[in-house]
Homo-oligomer: A and B are copies of this chain.
Amino acid sequence: MPEFTNGRHLVKEYPSGYPIPGRTTAYDTSAKINTDSVSLNGGILAKLLLISVDPYLRGRLAGYTPSKFALEEPLAGYGIVKVIRSENDKFHPGDILYGNGRIRHEEYSIITKEEAEHVVAFKPVDGIPLSVYIGAAGMPGLTAFTGLKEYGNVKKGETIFVSTAAGAVGSMVVQIAKKEGLKVIGSAGSEEKVKFLKELGVDVAFNYKTTDTREVLQKEGPIDIYWDNVGGDTLDAVLENTNEHARVIMCGAISGYNGEPAIVKNLMYTIYKQTKLYGHLVGPLLSKYQEAFDKDVIPKLADGTYKHREDKVYGLDKASQALLDVLKGANVGKSVVVVSED
């Protein structure tokens, strides 16, 4: 009888500031599962291989998203699973499935018929490891691509500024922007990340902890496109230094995730500059852009034109700490938890 401990990454309390591993979220080993006998009720029994650790998960621990996590339930997010058993005609044992935001942080999951609407079976392209499908080849890469396509109105020769440019999304934004002929300014929070940005071809890379963002923007701007991952005072600095008709793609506001919200004071500037600001969510844009992404971006990841870095940890028990690291910027590259290698 293959009965296993079914490790889970649970929400224990809603954090007020940064999440606290072991207290607000914790790895739990109290559940068991018999993978042979568990009832599927038309669903799929899936084994968790990889989970994507993303800043937005903090929002689902808070309340400003419609999909707040429930207490004592596993977190959920983007991830990759392998089918063990299936009563769903569309999926078969051995299939590798990619899940859009609803893959539960538990070692074995039963994916219901309804939940299966949100997973896709896929085969990695030669040259792209499986884990990259939750990074540059997956949601973060798609976030970069769809945001620039839908809202960027990119014109060769313009100037883009990207905050948290060394992150999973930012590092794809800067490379796609460079390919489109933009002057790229990127900020990050350590010298190691700045070095990575230079490897990616960023024209002006700086450490915002040691260099004043306003000074850089005054010297290297004005800004035509701002890819905003942080909000708050960085956004204010940009609004003071835009060209007319600038576009701001609001993809995140990490400066406000872990305590007081990110405060913005300079929206007044948008009127005289006729600035446009767009709240950007990747999910609803996938059907419009997935095909173009597969054609334009995937081959460049496979042949190494687009570079990417991963920050991997092993074991679901490391997920809480990995999330805290992402929120504090301690990771370099896409944060991935490898739960199982097969």
Interface residues in chain A, defined as those with a beta carbon under 8 Å from any beta carbon in chain B? 59, 64-66, 231, 235, 250-253, 256, 261-281, 284
Contact = CB atoms under 8 A, between A and B. Distances in A.
Contacts of A276: 276-279
A274 B279 contact: yes
Given A66-B272, A272-B65, A276-B276, A267 B250 contact: yes
A280 B275 CA distance: 8
A57 to B, nearest CB: 13
Nearest to A240: B64
A279 B271 contact: yes
Oligomeric state, in copies = 2
Contacts of A66: 272
Contacts of A64: 268-269, 272
Contacts of A275: 279
Contact of A267 (B59, B65, B262, B268): B262
Nearest to A242: B279
A281 B277 contact: no
Nearest to A272: B65
Contact of A268 (B59, B269, B271): B59
B272 A268 contact: no
A279 B269 CA distance: 8
A247 to B, nearest CB: 10
Contacts of A280: 271, 274
Contacts of A284: 274
A72 to B, nearest CB: 24
A278 B65 CA distance: 23
Contact of A231 (B231, B268, B273): B268
Contacts of A265: 256, 261-264
Contact of A250 (B235, B252, B253, B271): B271
Contacts of A65: 272
A268 B256 contact: yes
Contacts of A262: 265, 267-268
21 contacts: A64-B269, A64-B272, A231-B267, A231-B268, A235-B267, A251-B271, A256-B265, A256-B268, A262-B268, A263-B263, A264-B264, A264-B265, A267-B279, A270-B277, A270-B279, A271-B279, A274-B279, A274-B280, A275-B279, A276-B276, A276-B278
Contacts of A277: 267, 270, 276-278
A251 B64 CA distance: 26
Contact of A253 (B235, B252, B267, B274): B267
Contacts of A274: 278-281, 284
A56 to B, nearest CB: 8
B250 A261 contact: no
Contacts of A278: 270, 274, 276-277
Contact of A281 (B231, B261, B271): B271
